[in-house]
Structure 1
Amino acid sequence: MSENAKFRVAAACAATVAVTILIFRSRRHVSKRMLVTGASGYLGQHLVAALHSAEPGLEVHVAFGGLETYESDVAGTVASVTKVDLADAVAIRSLVRSVRPDIVVHLAAVSSPVVCEKNAARSDAINTPHALLNALPTSTTFIFLSTDQVYDGIAGRYANAAPAQPVNRYGRSKLAFELALHAALPASMSLRSSLILGPRTPGRCRKQSFLQFCEDRARGALQTDFIADEYRSVVWVGDLVQIIRWAALQGGASSHAGVYNMGGPERLTRVDVAREVVKALTPAPSLAVANGLPPYFRGVSKASLGDMGVASPPDISMDSSRVAALSGVALTPLDVAVAMALPRCNLPSADLVPMTLIIQLGACNDEAGVVDADVRARCRRTRELLEAHPNARVLTSGGADPRFKFNPTSTPHWQLVERALLEAGVSEAALLRPGMPALHTVHEAMMSHERVRQWLVGRRPTEVFREIIVLTSDYHLARVAHLFGVVFGSHARLDVPVRFEAVAVAIQSEEWIAARRVHEAKALATLKSAPYEPWLGWLKARGLEGVNSRGV
């Protein structure tokens, strides 16, 4: 096995352990005070909205710069709102004294490389606010949004926290603050973020993500040139939100302090993003030319645009698998990001239609990776559901661990299920990747909750999902319905309709089926009356013990 393959297997196992141990750690009874700087920006708005909807025990204070509408947009959802100039040391000290934060999530920056070059002194003061570090006690947990532009862009595919050699002032200022931060605060984490993509912000925002730029240009059929020879690992905003939650609230910054690449799983250009947006919005394939772009979009070289006043690294794609493995957050590929931000158009009105999410639960496979008859029966039903729901996508499930006999291979079961789905006639475009590396039904329910939250990033569930269909075998239905009934619904702050599809058990004896039903009944009774870890910790963290015991 190659070193890369070994790392992927290790990362998958680490992700499963992280999801079990970290994401579901109880913290409901621990009140913390968090300060978010740059809260009016694109990431800040999504982070604050997600914290408000899912972290009831957390006291969130926000600081912002010059967006005058922000205070009214966020009123009632945070503990305090402060307009602050990060170049003003006195104002920073006053803010810290007022809030007394246990946790700081520092997102504020002059993020335009061109502006940084033109206004060097002020941009350096804002991007390297030493006064903020000096005002905080050393016990503070600190999450810093750094940038992929700390890399020179010569090699590409940079390993985690590879040596930094920024080519512009923006990258140099971010690197300088990384160094100062980790010298000052032990429980600190720098996330070297790539270009962030996602849905529109909950409130008014000065600048949406590049995905909205592509959407607006495509809807207006506006002539646009996209740079085709600069590469980045664009990242879904929900991935960043979940990893910040892990680092700030679940001990990540304390137990794994340091610098991490924070990009998506692919090496992409802006043309790739534009092409995927066009695919989601274009009603008729005939409107697109051979390269997937309409006539009004064009890929061009960076050199053809002339001198833009700042050096730009050509290939700052990154390997971000380290932080993904530690946090248990699955990095979202571009096609899934666009599907979640722009659910399919309902022609001819071009309104965006919420998607139907089909969660196909796993079963078993043999030593050769051949799935059993239950999986194949579920695959056939999934194909039928996709035919009946044109705007539907499939999320598969199943991990790999030698302690669990359902999968004796090192390949995650969800990948084997995907193979079976393709063999059953399901289109590859219908698959949501990556699947969930779950090891049992409790894992499947908890991971489904976290994955849906990752995709929603603070929006109402019904804006993204019409319904969730959970597909399993008939003997398994009662336990599945209980678990997924608990993890979804208004009580779990994920109020989206859920229904269940039960497939008749594949070729088995009557004795096997009877024994299976007895096992399922006992397992369900135990889940309700004496829940065990990790289910118990997950319930306690969300105050759902009562919902679990009485059922939904």
Structure 2
Amino acid sequence: MKVLITGSNGLLGQHLIPLFSKDSRYEVIATGRGANRLPNQDGYLYEPANLRDSSSVNQLLQKHQPDIVIHAAAMTQVDDCERNKDACWDCNVNATRYLLQAAEKSKSFFIFLSTDFVFDGLQGPYSEEDAVNPISYYGATKVAAERLVQNSHLSWSIVRTVLVYGIAADPKRSNIITWVKTNLEQGKKLKVVDDQWRTPTLVQDLAAGCKLVADKKATGIYHISGSETLTPYQMAVQTAGYFQLNPQLLEKVDAKTFTQPAKRPAKTGFVISKAVQELGYQPHSFEEGLQIVAKEI
């Protein structure tokens, strides 16, 4: 079975590729912008493609005829999306449209990665049945792309996730754990938000969830995240404790402290019982996630 993974240079892509490559049932085609930036380039084929160009997308899918498409590529920096709306729409909506149109010709099973930012954050944690109501442009583009997927003529699955953390091959990419660790080691004080709630997701768990969806060709919407509802401040305190760093350097603040172009939903997080029951999904605790990230660091 051929699986095409978009956004292969991104954090999730870097964990999806080895997971699928190790499974002899799958032949993996990875695609991203420009050169392959992954340290391990064995066991799969890499094809650069511009997903914002319909002919580039058509050529890619015509050539490989994938059985499964996992569309993980996106513009995800929420403030950048607010500042550069045209680029955000192009990356998140138009690219999805081109992929769907091309995938309809090869009758691929389509897995689309989405986000908790499709919700307004007034009544989290959310289940798959809850109504979407985005409050940022990024969230609005993901809702628009979800609708394209739902209205396509393909078998599809939408995998929504929350605040993904883990180690990427690119050392410049930080996440909440590396950000807290690096700053506290340098003795820097950090202001960390304590009035936003999430169910943080270890990237290995998200990749495993996507593979469960692919293996079962499970259709519909699935919420794949961690199971604990935490604030960024609580995550920072746990991180400081794990690495035996000074928690006194962490200052608890509310979101109003920061001026950001995009609004963030206050309380999201996911109810993951559907994924647990239907897919056999079992996420790590945040404490276990810390241990895994510490080993990788």
Regarding TM over 0.5, the answer is: yes
Instruction: Show the counterpart of 1:269.
Output: 231
Say whether 1:34 aligns with 2:3.
Answer: yes
Give, in angstroms, the shift of residue 127 of structure 1.
0.2
Higher relative contact order (CA 8 A, sep 6+): 2
Check conservation: 2:146, 2:158, Cα contact below 8 A: yes
Alignment counterpart, residue 119 of structure 1, candidates 84, 99, 109? 84
One-letter amino acid of the counterpart of residue 37, structure 2: Y
Alignment counterpart, residue 250 of structure 2, candidates 297, 302, 322? 297
1:152 counterpart SS class: coil
Alignment counterpart, residue 160 of structure 1, candidates 118, 123, 128? 128
Instruction: Show the counterpart of 1:103.
Output: 68
Check conservation: 2:36, 2:48, Cα contact below 8 A: no
Provide the C-alpha distance between the structure 2 equivalents of 1:208 and 1:63, rounded to a whole number of angstroms: 22
Check conservation: 2:197, 2:229, Cα contact below 8 A: yes
Check conservation: 1:234, 1:268, Cα contact below 8 A: yes
Give, in angstroms, the shift of residue 236 of structure 1.
1.6
Instruction: Show the counterpart of 1:310.
Output: 262
Q: How does 1:237-386 map to 2 (within 5 A)?
A: 237-248=203-214, 250-253=215-218, 257-282=219-244, 288=246, 294-305=247-258, 307-342=259-294
Instruction: Show the counterpart of 1:75.
Output: 41
Provide the C-alpha distance between the structure 1 equivalents of 2:165 and 2:242, rounded to a whole number of angstroms: 15
Instruction: Show the counterpart of 1:429.
Output: none
2:222 counterpart SS class: strand
Say whether 1:218 aligns with 2:161.
Answer: no
Length-normalised TM-score, structure 1:
0.51
One-letter amino acid of the counterpart of residue 115, structure 2: T
Alignment counterpart, residue 12 of structure 2, candidates 43, 52, 59? 43
Length-normalised TM-score, structure 2:
0.92
Instruction: Show the counterpart of 1:529.
Output: none
Instruction: Show the counterpart of 1:456.
Output: none
One-letter amino acid of the counterpart of residue 65, structure 1: R
Provide the C-alpha distance between the structure 1 equivalents of 2:187 and 2:276, rounded to a whole number of angstroms: 37
1:143 counterpart SS class: strand
Check conservation: 1:89, 1:131, Cα contact below 8 A: yes
Quickly say closer, same or farther: Cα 1:34–1:208, change in 2 above 3 A: farther
Quickly say closer, same or farther: Cα 1:185–1:335, change in 2 above 3 A: farther
Give, in angstroms, the shift of residue 105 of structure 1.
0.7
Provide the C-alpha distance between the structure 1 equivalents of 2:129 and 2:272, rounded to a whole number of angstroms: 9
Provide the C-alpha distance between the structure 2 equivalents of 1:106 and 1:262, rounded to a whole number of angstroms: 15
1:226 counterpart SS class: strand
Cα deviation, 1:328-358, whole Å, max 9, x if unaligned, reads: 1212221121122225xxxxxxxxxxxxxxx
Alignment counterpart, residue 98 of structure 2, candidates 117, 131, 154? 131
Structure 2 alignment gaps of length 5 or more:
none
% identical equivalent positions: 24
Cα deviation, 1:171-230, whole Å, max 9, x if unaligned, reads: 1111111111121144211111100123x23x3365243222222223323222111111
Say whether 1:88 aligns with 2:40.
Answer: no
Check conservation: 1:195, 1:234, Cα contact below 8 A: yes
One-letter amino acid of the counterpart of residue 264, structure 2: S
One-letter amino acid of the counterpart of residue 84, structure 2: N
Cα deviation, 1:107-141, whole Å, max 9, x if unaligned, reads: 00000111111111121011012111111136311
One-letter amino acid of the counterpart of residue 332, structure 1: H
Provide the C-alpha distance between the structure 2 equivalents of 1:244 and 1:160, rounded to a whole number of angstroms: 16
1:184 counterpart SS class: coil
Say whether 1:207 aligns with 2:198.
Answer: no
Provide the C-alpha distance between the structure 1 equivalents of 2:222 and 2:171, rounded to a whole number of angstroms: 27
Quickly say closer, same or farther: Cα 1:186–1:86, change in 2 above 3 A: closer
Check conservation: 1:197, 1:235, Cα contact below 8 A: yes
One-letter amino acid of the counterpart of residue 81, structure 2: C
Provide the C-alpha distance between the structure 2 equivalents of 1:218 and 1:241, rounded to a whole number of angstroms: 29
Instruction: Show the counterpart of 1:227.
Output: 193
Check conservation: 1:196, 1:210, Cα contact below 8 A: no
Provide the C-alpha distance between the structure 2 equivalents of 1:233 and 1:185, rounded to a whole number of angstroms: 32
Provide the C-alpha distance between the structure 1 equivalents of 2:119 and 2:181, rounded to a whole number of angstroms: 29
Provide the C-alpha distance between the structure 2 equivalents of 1:159 and 1:56, rounded to a whole number of angstroms: 34
Give, in angstroms, the shift of residue 259 of structure 1.
1.4
Check conservation: 2:9, 2:36, Cα contact below 8 A: no
Give, in angstroms, the shift of residue 271 of structure 1.
0.9
Provide the C-alpha distance between the structure 1 equivalents of 2:88 and 2:81, rounded to a whole number of angstroms: 5
Provide the C-alpha distance between the structure 2 equivalents of 1:47 and 1:295, rounded to a whole number of angstroms: 37
Instruction: Show the counterpart of 1:539.
Output: none
